[in-house]
């Protein structure tokens, strides 16, 4: 029960944080990787972030997807390694623009 409560609280925090954005970056916009994602329902998000991104580097937005639990971004610099599932994708909360 405690684990479910913690996960729910974390999910709520992600959703609340994601809805604070006044404007989302658009295709072609530059964004800077500032803060590693600590939790995601999709484990590949955290793993791919560690594998591909470097703190402080600037990346180009390919596509932004607003989901119920978070907002994700696809980057031009990283072609999909899984085209069907459009992976990699990253948590937009980890970036500034």
Could you give the percent of the chain with pLDDT greater than 90? 66
Query: pTM of the entire structure?
Result: 0.75
- Please report, for the chain, the start and end positions of each structural domain, with discontinuous segments joined by +: 2-96
pLDDT of residue 35: 94
State how far the Cα of 39 lies from the Cα of 53, in Å rounded to an integer. Answer: 16
Question: Which residues of the chain have a pLDDT value below 50?
Answer: 1-20
Burial class (CB in 10 A: 0-12, 13-18, 19+), 96: exposed
Nearest-angstrom CA–CA distance, 62 and 30: 10
The rounded distance, in Å, linking the Cα atoms of 20 and 50 is 25
Beta carbons of 22 and 39 less than 8 angstroms apart: no
Q: What is the pLDDT of residue 21?
A: 54
């Amino acid at each position: 029960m405690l684990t479910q409560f913690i996960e729910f609280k974390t999910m709520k925090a992600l959703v609340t944080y994601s809805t604070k954005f006044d404007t989302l970056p658009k295709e072609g916009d530059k964004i800077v990787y500032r803060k590693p994602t600590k939790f995601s329902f999709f484990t590949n998000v955290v793993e791919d972030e560690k594998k591909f991104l470097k703190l402080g580097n600037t990346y180009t937005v390919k596509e932004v997807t607003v989901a119920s639990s978070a907002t994700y971004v696809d980057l031009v610099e990283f072609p999909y390694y899984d085209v069907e599932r459009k992976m990699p994708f990253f948590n937009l909360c980890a970036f500034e623009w």
